[in-house]
Amino acid sequence: MTEEQWKKLLAVINGEGINPLPVGFIIDCPWLPSWAGMSILDYFSSEQVWFEANLKAVQHFPDVLFLPGFWSEFGMCTEPSAFGAKCRWFKKEMPFAGKILTDISAVHSLDKPNPETDGLPPFVLNRLKRYQGQIENAGHAIKFAVSRGPLNIASFLMGSTEFLMAIRTNPEETQKLLETVTDFIIDWVELQVKTFPSIDGILVLDDIVGFLGDDDFKKTALPYLTRIFQSLDVAVRLFHNDAPGLICAPYLTQISVNLFNFSHEHTLAEMKQLTNNNVALLGNIPPRDVLAAGTAEEVQKSVKDALDSVTDNSRIIMSCGGGMPPDVPTENIEAFISAVGKYT
């Protein structure tokens, strides 16, 4: 992210009026490799290919806020690998981390990993260190510490169904698992900040939060997300949950989230109301059915409809309801940018 883009991001979070509204997208392996003309496996296994793909995106769309920017990642495998998850890699599909806990009682013997030495996190950091100079020569800076969230990681370690059932059947063991995972996440994001002093933001991604009711959220997610977001003294605290977000939205300020990327099933107006307009919103058109599969005209209409749902354009970065999905064509992104400029 460039310094100008960072200032614009902070201005939106602070509620300053910006016209036209900024456009931003969370981009990573589901979209970027294919769009840049390479395989997913090449994207993960070659530092140069990874860098070139990210550079191509920021140069082709210089006015778009790509979040977190030059994301050094290995899909959903990064954090689970540190706990010992077996990672499966495919040439044209997303990698997958296999579960390691077949019985919830095993959480008592689960050790907290060291992000400096265990699994893929050391490779994430080393890739960024090796390319930091080239990123900065391109006018960008490493601004975000990034991690999957505690429930997301726990669901990979146990299996999603098994984890969600354990919340009710084995609450003590579930809390123990989440405490261990949360301690690791805090170590992980703090290590990123220590390694790159330019970091002034955190991005946490956790869709499992969207599958909880209010009581389960307050017991199982709220304390751990709060610990993570409040562990760093940073200006931007971005939370991604593109599963249903009505449960978590009223608690975002308490957690210290100030930028929220949420499901396209909720309108900007609805989220403004639930957050009392205290949280900047990153959204919100359907990512798969419109941004990826729709025509340019349908993209523009969807952008207009999203903007028409609000009378107050403050604290909005126009995006899709979630990360950039696979197969979004260049012309649809250009249509999106054009529509935002036309209707704001």
Topology at the third CATH level for domain 3-343: TIM Barrel (3.20.20)
pLDDT in tens, 46-64: 999 999 999 999 999 999 9
pLDDT cut 90: percent of the chain above it: 98
| Tokens 């495998």 belong to residue | 77
Sequence-ordered list of residues with C-beta below 8 angstroms from that of 14, at least 6 positions apart, any chain: none
Specify the pLDDT at position 247: 94
pLDDT in tens, 197-216: 999 999 999 999 999 999 99
pLDDT in tens, 77-108: 999 999 999 999 999 899 999 999 999 999 99
CA distance 84 to 75: 16
At residue 26's C-alpha, the angle toward residues 20 and 29, to 5°, is 145
| Tokens 């107050």 belong to residue | 312
At residue 274's C-alpha, the angle toward residues 143 and 313, to 5°, is 65
Strands (E), the chain: 24-26, 65-67, 87-88, 96-97, 144-148, 201-205, 236-241, 259-262, 280-285, 316-320
Q: What is the dihedral of CA 44, 48, 50, 204, to 10 degrees?
A: 90
pLDDT in tens, 148-175: 999 999 999 999 999 999 999 999 999 9
Specify the pLDDT at position 318: 98
| Tokens 């992104």 belong to residue | 333
Specify the pLDDT at position 244: 87
Q: 3-class DSSP state for residue 23?
A: strand
Residue 319 φ then ψ, to 5°:
-160, -165
Instruction: Compute the mean pLDDT over every residue in the chain, rounded to the nearest whole number.
Output: 97
CA distance 251 to 215: 12
List the chain domain ranges: 3-343
User: Is a pLDDT exceeding 90 seen at residue 70?
Assistant: yes
CA distance 143 to 84: 28
Specify the pLDDT at position 208: 97
Specify the pLDDT at position 67: 98
| 8 Å CB contact between 268 and 306 | yes
pLDDT in tens, 307-324: 999 999 999 999 999 999
Count other Cβ atoms within 10 Å, centred on residue 257.
25
CA distance 130 to 127: 5
Give the helix, strand, coil percentages of the chain, each rounded to 5.
50, 15, 35
Residue 104 φ then ψ, to 5°:
-60, -25
**Averaged over 266-295, what is the pLDDT?**
97
User: Is a pLDDT exceeding 90 seen at residue 306?
Assistant: yes
User: Is a pLDDT exceeding 90 seen at residue 245?
Assistant: no
